[in-house]
Amino acid sequence: MVARQTVWAWLRPPKERGIAPWLYLVYALFLFFHHIFRPFDWALLSRDLAVLAVFLPAYLISWRLPSRWLPVPTALMMALGFLAAEWNPGAPTLFIYAASLSVNYHETRQGLRHVLLVLLVLAVWSWLRQPPIWVWAPGLAMTAVIGFINVFEANNRRGRERLLRQQEEIEYLAGLAERERIARDLHDLLGHTLSLITLKAELAGKLLARNPDHAKAEIRDIETAARDALQEVRDAVTGYRGSGLQQELKRVAQALQVVGIEQQIQVQDLTLPPAIENVLSFVLREAVTNVIRHARAQHCAIRLYRADRYLELSIQDDGSQRAGNEGNGLRGMRERIITLNGEFEFASGDGHCVRVRIPMTPQSAQTDLAQAVATQANTQNHSHAHSQDNSANQSQSQTMPLATTPNHSTASSAGAEPAP
């Protein structure tokens, strides 16, 4: 069982190549076309099957071999082609397969050298053996065409991989820089305030027995400092969110420019609620990532505008790669849009188009986070009021929390707006 798995691991092409290596095997059927035009002969069929049995392992293994070992399957395919050319008019197919292995080299010059060497050997063999013109002429022409196409396809693939690695590195560095900036901002915002709270808390603890009035004043200062710090943190978080969509537009424009996709961005100047802005940033990022990685597009148009009571975002490209089943990216976009009572459409045909339509109403602008913040603020206000009542009526300090808890909960729920 282990040996069988090891053999299959070698024969199976790498996953990053997809199903293309298997689809290319369709051309091996040309080895059997000559049987259609001649009387059936078991001997010829047996020879063709033997050639195919030797060719298939060499072809499949070549997708995993290091570039320095690629001449081995190439030489084997060429030898099979020379042998089969004695009886099979479809033998030039093996020469084409030999030249197509140029796609597996890591450098363009190595692939060009590979194709030129295959053509040279084929030309010398044709000159020495003088096969029929229908054997060497189509074989020589198609070998050159397919070989050079694969060289340039490999070059383009390596370029795309480099760009994707650079984009991932840029995203990582940008995220790292953003985390460092947030850490610095939080340190600047909270460092001094927390130090002040610590000192005043220690002082209040020492003064509590000797000077209760002074201790109460210190505690009030602690409460004020804590509220100021909380408000500063909220303002900072709001500032981070406010620049989200604009920053995302700059990032996707830079990413499209890096991969050479022509871009057309039309964005209306709008002031958006944080909930809508965050969702639109996510949709924009996911849609443009799909354009870069999968669409094979040359042009991408991004439009964001308000039409009547609706906000509309569209990302359209002219990619030739048809979309398959809905993946996690599209599903995630759709789910986020639905939470805002919006509409999500994805069309694939003559290019691809992601279109989002969100109602610009107060209800759609609410988010769970906003409700949580409002509820927390109301809870703190009521708790502060109750704490003042409790300090004024110390004799009822044990019974008041039980009596005020239902009212406190009701007030908090009334202070928060209903969920969308």
Higher-confidence position of 70 and 225: 70
pTM of the model: 0.46
Q: Which contiguous run of DSSP H or E holds residue 111?
A: helix 108-129
Residue whose pair of structure tokens reads 């039309």 in the numeric block: 266
Q: Across residues 301-330, what is the average pLDDT?
A: 84
Residues 6+ apart with CB under 8 A from 189: 229, 232, 233, 236
Mean pLDDT check: name the lowest of 14-18, 120-124, 160-164: 14-18
The sign one gets for the Cα dihedral 347, 350, 353, 357 is: negative
pLDDT grade for 344, boundaries at 50, 70 and 90: very high
Q: What is the pLDDT of residue 407?
A: 37
pLDDT grade for 120, boundaries at 50, 70 and 90: very high
pLDDT grade for 140, boundaries at 50, 70 and 90: confident
- 356: pLDDT strictly greater than 90: yes
Q: Which contiguous run of DSSP H or E holds residue 385?
A: helix 368-392
| 316: nearest Cα among 342, 339, 298 | 298
Higher-confidence position of 290 and 184: 290
Q: Which residue stretches of 69-107 are H helix?
A: 71-84, 92-100
Tokens of 264: 């057309």
pLDDT in tens, 383-408: 444 444 444 443 333 333 333 333 33
* Domain layout of the chain by residue ranges: 2-165, 261-365, 368-387+403-420
pLDDT in tens, 148-193: 999 998 899 888 888 888 888 888 888 888 788 777 767 766 776 7
Q: What is the pLDDT of residue 395?
A: 36
Residues 6+ apart with CB under 8 A from 401: 386, 390
Pair 103, 128: CB distance under 8 Å: no
In angstroms, the CA 179 to CA 173 distance is 10
CA angle 187, 193, 198 (to 5 degrees): 115
Mean pLDDT of the chain: 78
Tokens of 299: 């042009």
DSSP-based three-state secondary structure for 67: helix
pLDDT in tens, 226-261: 887 787 777 666 655 545 688 788 878 887 887 788
- Residue type at 349 in one-letter notation: G
Higher-confidence position of 290 and 151: 151
Residues 6+ apart with CB under 8 A from 351: 295, 297, 316, 317, 318, 319
Residues 6+ apart with CB under 8 A from 309: 359, 360, 361
DSSP-based three-state secondary structure for 340: coil
- 324: pLDDT strictly greater than 70: no
| Class of the CATH-defined domain 261-365 | alpha beta
| DSSP per-residue string spanning 210-263 | H-HHHHHHHHHHHHHHHHHHHHHHHHHHHHHHHTHHHHHHHHHHHHHHHTT-EE
